[in-house]
Chain A
Amino acid sequence: MLIRYPNDIAPSEITPPDIYRERRRFMQGVSALAAGAVLGISPKAEAGAKLAGVRTSAYSLDEDRTPYKDVTTYNNFYEFGTGKGDPSENAGSLKTRPWTVAVEGEVANPKTYDIDALLKLAPLEERVYRMRCVEGWSMVIPWVGFPLKELIRRAAPTGNARYVEFVTLNDPEQMPGLRRRILSWPYLEGLRLDEAMHPLAILAVGLYGEVLPNQNGAPIRLVVPWKYGFKSAKSIVKIRFVEKPPLTTWMAAAPREYGFYSNVNPQVDHPRWSQAKERRIGELSKRDTLMFNGYGAQVAQLYRGMDLQKFF
């Protein structure tokens, strides 16, 4: 397989050395904690606990980050209600331990991973990404996670695996929003295998250097920064490799409004509203939405030759 290295990172997007060194010092400081974890002193799994050994990724943006409070109190997670404040109010009932993620389907190595094993699967990286909601607002979020391809590589997809399906937890006891059939549950999302293998696609387990809060998709979620936010499935319990494109929850709900790809595209409007601009949370005037959410240099080649008006 051809491994592509990003050669298109602008110098301005590379973390300055002083910050970089400071982070290194910080990492050395937390390595003691990490050692404790390895020695069997279990690190705290609750939201807010510091994650140890997080490296800075070259894929991180150098843009002002949306404040932690906004990232954790204003988002969509319909399993906890349809209001933007509902997830932060209702997600306390989600239990993130014990938690397993089943990797199955067209793979040579199907396996059910314990969440704590997943946390050690690959080195954790901080990825500061833009997040563009299909509703027209956006944030800049410092996720902590690891490339999804690390998991895919271990699963070893067979020749039949063309797509990857992500399944969110479906337990009304823990997720009160599931009692209402606003959408067809469980929440399903999907990527083409090459999209899933792209180095920008990550499985996130943290936010702002800390364990992911429940309302943001704990304990593990997908983050695909060049697609509208709803593509990044939260609180994942199953990852299936399949031959046919999965019918995602939003496609089933409104096929005219939500396509399989759902790439951020200012030229393709939502049937009911424009996608040309967005409001960055914390800013007053709107800014122009960027093609592929500003990740075109990295991901445009995935869609070469495709009519993106048709495959929206």
Chain B
Amino acid sequence: MPVALRTLKAGVFLICLLPLARLVYLGVAGGLGANPIEFVTHSTGTWALAGLLVTLSVTPLRRLTGQAGLIRYRRMLGLFAFFYACLHFVAYVWLDQFFDPAAIARDIVKRPFVTVGFAAFILLVPLAATSSHAMMRRLGRRWQQLHRLIYLIALLGVVHYLWLVKKDLTEPLIYGGVLALLLAMRLPWGRYGGKRFVQAGSSAMQRRL
């Protein structure tokens, strides 16, 4: 790997760690507010969803900018989304429910927003597990089919958010809007506007290959 790319990748890695660093800093400085458990649960959930959307933006961005090399960051971004989803899940199981299996089981069965969030998390696991180059090679065409699950996962994430807010839907709708845009850009007519860039992007890809 060239040094410049390695540096850039390290930079992106560090940026992805900022939300966690912020939580640790606020925790140490006593800045998590009156309800720190809620703060941590909401924050990690928000960044898991944001991570999914950033991961989903790689393909349209490549097309729009002609920077095919952006694909090199996709795995890392996706794994960070999974990382924050894990933290979110741990915050819920440990801090929110205190490992009360009966309460967690009840929540998953009875609370639609928990059901949906839990489903999204479970679906992320095989994607994270098959993210390596070796797994990509082994699964071949099926790898891409499997990883299309991210569309469903992101949708479940938005629904999870929509269902848990009491009244003000603004923020979940913003995430929903961004997701809709990112998905629309994958449709044939959505691609049209960036066609020139597609060609530029794919030719750049071909050069690399």
Contacts and interface: CB of A to CB of B under 8 A. Distances in A.
A134 B111 CA distance: 16
Nearest to A286: B98
Nearest to A76: B166
A274 B110 contact: yes
Interface residues of B, number: 20
A272 B35 contact: no
Interface stretch (A41-49, A95-103, A277-285, A297-305): A277-285
Nearest to A269: B110
Interface string A36-69: 0000000000000000000000000000001001
A85 B33 contact: yes
A294 B176 CA distance: 41
A272 B95 CA distance: 20
A158 interface: no
A291 B112 CA distance: 25
B35 A84 contact: yes
Contacts of B163: 272
Contacts of B95: 284
Interface in B125-158: none
Interface in A196-244: none
Nearest to B95: A284
Nearest to A71: B34
B167 interface: yes
A70 B34 CA distance: 5
Contacts of B103: 274, 277
Chain A's interface size range is 20 to 34
Interface in B152-186: 163-164, 166-168, 170
A84 B113 contact: no
A185 interface: no
Q: In this complex, which of B34, B37, B98, B107 has the most chain A Cβ atoms within 10 angstroms of its Cβ? A: B34
Nearest to B165: A82
Nearest to A136: B38
B107 A272 contact: no
Nearest to A276: B103
A94 to B, nearest CB: 20
Contacts of B98: 284-286
A182 B168 contact: yes
B111 A272 contact: yes
A261 interface: no
B167 A281 contact: no
Contacts of A73: 33-34
A253 B95 CA distance: 31
A69 B35 CA distance: 12
B106 interface: yes
A183 B107 CA distance: 28
Contact of B35 (A137, A253, A273): A137
A285 B95 CA distance: 8
A272 B112 contact: yes
> Which 5 pairs of residues, A with B, have the shortest CB-CB distance?
A74-B34, A70-B34, A82-B168, A281-B34, A285-B98
Given A134-B166, A137-B35, A183-B167, 12 more contacts: A73-B34, A82-B167, A82-B170, A84-B35, A254-B167, A272-B112, A272-B113, A272-B164, A274-B107, A274-B111, A277-B103, A282-B34
5 contacts: A182-B167, A253-B167, A272-B113, A272-B164, A281-B34
